[in-house]
Every structure is written in structure tokens, then in C-alpha cells.
Copies of this chain bind each other. A is one copy, B any other.
Amino acid sequence: MQKKAVVLLSGGLDSATTLAIASAQGYDCYTISFNYGQRNQFELGAAEKIAAHFKVVDHLVISIDLRKIGGSALTSEIAVPKSQKLQENVEAIPVTYVPARNTIFLSLALAWAETLDAFDIFIGVNALDFSGYPDCRPAFIEAFEQLANIGTKSGQEHGKFKIHAPLSHLSKAEIIRKGVELRLDYSLTHSCYDPSEQGIACGMCESCLLRKKGFRQAGIPDPTTYQSLEEV
């Protein structure tokens, strides 16, 4: 019997690459997405297509309205910052930070893993590009892994949960090269924080800028359609 893995899949570039990696490592993959009131509802459709592309065993969408909690540009009226180029070496945590988001998402992935008798959970966090987000750092992933083994029946009785963060120390360009090597079709993925009503990426939010830069540095054509500057 193959080992099972639960993979957090947002529909973006990083989580799709993470699924490609888990799949290539031979896991039977179970993907989980969250409808949390995010501005970009197109990423849920992208996640579904990516899950189908990788022939996952099951794809679960959990709805949880984080707009009731607020505190982020992604789930409230706070505007998503737009710029023509990435700001370098910014230390502050951006307004697109969603309070405790990865803690919430990993908790739900953990619950599902426990029900499935899976002990491997994959998450596409990245400590380089999103150094501002505290819940993308290796120390957070380690702390969650500890918690998972203390706070569950399976962790106590049957085995040891492992939280895999295979992109943790890769640059965006390295992530893209890895995905292309694993035959991931990036046109299926959706990174924009604030797309148009038709689902066209804005091209000017931090996530679009990082994506563009990644493809440029990898020397790989970016398959994404972005809104022209006039439309934004």
C-alpha cells in the first residue's frame, strides 16, 4: 500500500508545485482547499483543475468564513497594495497577512489526515519570498509538527505526523524550474490577490509581481494573462 499524504492546495503556483512534488515522491495524495472569503475566488476553481490534473484520490473544499474575523486585506475592505515593481528587503508584515491562516489551515488538514490515517502533510510555504509572514517560517512548521503529535489521538497512539514544506528554502525561480521538471502546467495556477471580475490577474499585487519575477529569473515564459496597466 502506498503512503497517503494530505496536501494543502490553494490553486496558486507554490501549492501546485508542492502537490507535484508529493505526487512524484509516490504518495497517494488527498488535497484540501479552503473557501475562506478570499478576494480571489478563482483560485478555488484552479485548485480543482490542478487536483484533477494530478489525479488525487480525493479533493476536499472546506468553507470557513474568515471575513467574520477580518484583519486582512485579503478578507476585508482593506485595499490590496499595488505597485509596478516589488519592494525589496521589506521587513514589516504586509497587510495581506491573514491572522493565523496557516495555523487554521494546517489544523483542518491535520484533522483530515487523522481521519484518513495519513501522517504526511504537505504545505507550500516559502521562507524566502514571504519572509514577512510569520506562519511561513521553518520555526512555525516545526512548532506545528510538535503540536500535531501532542494534540491528536493518532499522534499519541499510532505514529508520527510530519509536516513537509519542500519549498521552504527555494526561490520562486527554483520552484518554477522544479514544477516544469515535474511537468506541472502553470497555466492552471492562479496567484493574484485581487483579480478582475473575469478572473484576470492584476499584475501589480505582491503575489503577481513575485510570480512575474520568478518566471523571468527562471528563464521560462510566464503563461499568465495579466491586466494591462490601463485596466488596473
Contact = CB atoms under 8 A, between A and B. Distances in A.
Contacts of A114: 71, 99-100
Contact of A62 (B64, B110, B135): B64
Contacts of A62: 64-65, 68-69
A84 interface: no
Contacts of A140: 147, 150-151
A135 B115 contact: no
Contact of A93 (B64, B101, B110, B157): B157
A191 interface: no
A55 interface: no
A229 interface: no
Nearest to A94: B153
Contacts of A103: 107, 110-111, 147-148, 151-152
A208 to B, nearest CB: 23
A182 to B, nearest CB: 29
A177 B43 CA distance: 52
Chain A, interface size category, equals 35 or more
Interface in A105-162: 107-108, 110-112, 114-115, 134-135, 137, 139-140, 143-144, 146-148, 150-157
A102 interface: yes
A99 B110 CA distance: 8
Contacts of A148: 100, 103
Contact of A111 (B60, B99, B112, B157): B99
Given A135-B152, A143-B150, A146-B147, 5 more contacts: A62-B68, A63-B63, A93-B153, A100-B111, A103-B107
